[in-house]
Amino acid sequence: DEDIKLFGKTLTKIYDFIIIKESDPRRRPIGETAKLVEEGILSTKFPKKDYCIIQDESSATNIALSMAGVGDLGVIQADDIHKVISDVLKFKEMRSSHIE
């Protein structure tokens, strides 16, 4: 539990906005790991408005991509890598069709 909290705390030193998702609970009840990450975040002065918890990996991916602006760096820690790549490509295609 302490390692997971430390992970959350460490995220606040690296990122401006954090989306916590938990599509693979790793033998824990759904939501437990996300709450531990959140506890780590809350142990810092990281603003509550700058993180959220989204359980669905596709939704989290799409929200992260929608939030990103020109020059931003987004990091996605994927559980279902093939699905996330598919989601990113679909987002890119949709974004490209709106620009034309």
Q: For 28-61, how does the pLDDT look when each residue is reduced to its tens digit (9 = 90+)?
A: 998 999 999 999 999 999 999 999 999 899 999 9
Whether pTM exceeds 0.75: yes
H or E stretch including 53?
Answer: strand 51-53
Q: If 0-12 CB within 10 Å is exposed, 13-18 middle and 19+ buried, where does residue 60 land?
A: buried
Q: What is the pLDDT of residue 99?
A: 64
Residue 5 pLDDT > 90: yes
